[in-house]
Structure 1
Amino acid sequence: MISALNGLVDLVEEQLTAELDVSGLAAKLGTTEYHLRRMFSSLAGMPLSEYVRRRRMTVAAADVIRSTDDLLAIAVRYGYGSTEAFGRAFRAVHGAGAGEVRRDGGPLRTQPQLRFRLTVEGSIPMDTRIADRPAFRLIGHAARVPLIHQGINPHIQQHVAALPVEESLRLKELSDTEPAGLLAVSDDLDPDRAEGSELTYLHGVALSGAVPVPGDLDVIEVPAGRWAVFRSSGPYPQALQQTWAATATEWFPANPWRLRPGPEIVAVLERAADFSTATCELWLPVEPASTAPGPTG
């Protein structure tokens, strides 16, 4: 996985002025674009799209300062159709317009080229199991919310708080399969996991195919497949978020599995009355990683 990510960084440098073919690279490396983007954003701390923009504007700044070309020619060279679009991207990275930087020589904010390295940690074993599950359904109450990486998501909190207490009891009675109990489901996630990007959040339960679904509930159909199930205990949501991060930094680089598209599910097994601490299971959809480069299917 580390070599695949460094291959992706090299591709960014080769294609700074062209469309980035992440899918083609992923196929050559025996992985998927979905998994590659997810691991990049988790380990780099920024979406791939943001890294590409910062690198392009870092290199473009040199052209702005030293080239005699007009700004439109430079904008087109870096894939922008107008000086306005180029100017917005340039200012977002450097904090100043291209014309100001050409005149004054700065300010410039450089994005260095990333290089991923494996750090040997793993002193705390991760409590994990692989579950092979038939198709099932996730049912409950869904809402579109923005992604927030740290702390409690107030949009999700408001969505759940608006539901009557008896509705959660009703849902728990409907649950008849794993993941057990009330679930926090994130679906339709941006592969880059960009902060503020929208996802579908569902407060609900898992249901086998044999049970009819009440008409007033939202449904997410989940196909058969394998899941990596991570157990976490401690302060909530900090312990869960740390486990989530460790899947990218420790577990996936050390195990022959990769993420596949699908919902990400949190099952709360036990919790304090005030929800200050909790024991949770994090369910991530996975598939075997290819052992050699080649087409993926």
Structure 2
Amino acid sequence: MNWAEGIQNAINYIENNITGELNNNAIAAQACCSSYYFQKIFSLLCDMTLGEYIRNRRLALAGSELISTDIKVIDLAMKYGYSTPESFTRAFTLFHGVSPSEARKNASSLRSFSRLTVELSLKGGKTMNYRIIEKPAFTVIEKAEVHRLDENDVVSSTVPDVWAKAGADGTIAQLVGMASDREFIYGICYGNGKETYDEDTFEYSIAAICAEDTVAPEGFRISHIPARTWLAVECQGTCPETVQQQWREMCASFFPSSGYTPTYEMDIEVYPSGDPSAPDYKFEIWVPVVKN
């Protein structure tokens, strides 16, 4: 399955189950992807969160059904996933600008919201410097935390705080002291976590490459990164803004046309020494990939 097919399969699944219970893990599975990565990619490509898309589609369909049938508002609310008529009316009014009762009187005021369709288009003007590299397995020592997507399904809003805390409490200095390669420090994001977490979480660690026999002190752990083919993307700019910009470029331009697909296991930010807040700071993002 290529990149575009996976995303379209997930959208089709949403549309086919729009009046049922939609689970983020089940949606992501249609794209052979983890929930975390699907939500991240969806928001980057569509400029809206997965939750916003589902909510807007349901309310648009509810509006069409309201004016074309004699269905009761309470039944319409239950059909589109609202527990009470009051909560449905609030959401309906916020989306359409009129209440359900007003909409029945003046159907022309309703708002539409079309289903998404994946279409590939050629766009110029931007370049992305990258390499495809083969790396043998390596070992890292890391300090990891589980993060929850916020109420807007934003996937990275807490990561800058992790780095600020790690610099202030000596974590980064400890990692460098245990590293076999002290030139770089790494930020590793694991899909829905190395362990089993629920669909709205992801795990992020600050790490350093270490010897295989390194013993992790309390609060740290040893992880073994398997041999993989990696897309290594060159980045220049302030963090975390540049990270998000490069992910958007990867999702919108590289993956649809390159013949490569992410494995969705993890991604690694590779930071050399320097000032990450400087506009000329250079670093890399590594994404494990497979050839389509």
Residue 266 of structure 1 corresponds to which residue in structure 2?
A: 269
What percent identity do the matched residue pairs reach?
Answer: 20
Q: Is the 8 A contact 2:192 2:202 kept in 1?
A: yes
C-alpha deviation, 1:113, in angstroms: 2.5
2:187 is aligned with 1:209: no
Q: Given residue 271 of structure 2, which amino acid in structure 1 is its aligned partner?
A: V
2:246 is aligned with 1:246: no
Cα deviation 1:167-218 (Å, max 9, x = unaligned): 423311212369x62223334559xxxxxx654443332335321111133x
Q: Given residue 267 of structure 1, which amino acid in structure 2 is its aligned partner?
A: V
C-alpha deviation, 1:234, in angstroms: 3.4
The verdict on how the C-alpha distance between 1:138 and 1:121 changes in structure 2, with shifts beyond 3 A counting, is farther
**Secondary structure of residue in 2 paired with 1:182:** strand
Q: Which moved more, 1:13-22 or 1:166-175?
A: 13-22
TM-score (norm. length: structure 2): 0.73
The verdict on how the C-alpha distance between 1:88 and 1:23 changes in structure 2, with shifts beyond 3 A counting, is same
For 1:284 and 1:211, the matched residues in 2 are separated by 25
C-alpha deviation, 1:9, in angstroms: 3.7
Residue 121 of structure 2 corresponds to which residue in structure 1?
A: 119
Q: Given residue 117 of structure 1, which amino acid in structure 2 is its aligned partner?
A: E
The verdict on how the C-alpha distance between 1:223 and 1:95 changes in structure 2, with shifts beyond 3 A counting, is farther
2:189 is aligned with 1:186: yes
1:67 to 69, 86, 92: 69
**Secondary structure of residue in 2 paired with 1:114:** coil
User: What are the equivalent positions in structure 2 for 1:108-187 lying under 5 Å apart?
Assistant: 108-121=110-123, 124-134=127-137, 136-140=139-143, 142=145, 144=147, 153=157, 155-162=158-165, 163-164=167-168, 166-176=170-180, 181-187=184-190
C-alpha deviation, 1:94, in angstroms: 3.1
Cα deviation 1:125-166 (Å, max 9, x = unaligned): 43222343426344136464656999x95x444443344475
Cα deviation 1:54-88 (Å, max 9, x = unaligned): 11210111222332221122223334454345345
Q: Given residue 129 of structure 1, which amino acid in structure 2 is its aligned partner?
A: I
The verdict on how the C-alpha distance between 1:53 and 1:103 changes in structure 2, with shifts beyond 3 A counting, is same
C-alpha deviation, 1:12, in angstroms: 3.7
Q: Given residue 269 of structure 1, which amino acid in structure 2 is its aligned partner?
A: P
Q: Given residue 49 of structure 2, which amino acid in structure 1 is its aligned partner?
A: P
For 1:27 and 1:185, the matched residues in 2 are separated by 22
User: What are the equivalent positions in structure 2 for 1:71-110 lying under 5 Å apart?
Assistant: 71-87=73-89, 89-91=91-93, 93-102=95-104, 105=107, 108-110=110-112
**Secondary structure of residue in 2 paired with 1:186:** strand
For 2:81 and 2:32, the matched residues in 1 are separated by 25
For 1:146 and 1:10, the matched residues in 2 are separated by 24
**Secondary structure of residue in 2 paired with 1:264:** strand
CA RMSD of aligned residues (A): 3.9
Residue 45 of structure 1 corresponds to which residue in structure 2?
A: 47
For 2:54 and 2:9, the matched residues in 1 are separated by 14
| Paired residues, number | 277
For 1:37 and 1:73, the matched residues in 2 are separated by 30
For 2:4 and 2:146, the matched residues in 1 are separated by 35
For 2:234 and 2:81, the matched residues in 1 are separated by 44
Q: Given residue 57 of structure 1, which amino acid in structure 2 is its aligned partner?
A: L
The verdict on how the C-alpha distance between 1:87 and 1:283 changes in structure 2, with shifts beyond 3 A counting, is farther
Q: Is the 8 A contact 1:16 1:52 kept in 2?
A: yes
C-alpha deviation, 1:43, in angstroms: 1.5
C-alpha deviation, 1:20, in angstroms: 5.4
Q: Is the 8 A contact 1:22 1:33 kept in 2?
A: no
Q: Is the 8 A contact 2:51 2:153 kept in 1?
A: no
2:236 is aligned with 1:233: yes
The verdict on how the C-alpha distance between 1:261 and 1:161 changes in structure 2, with shifts beyond 3 A counting, is same
For 2:27 and 2:162, the matched residues in 1 are separated by 39
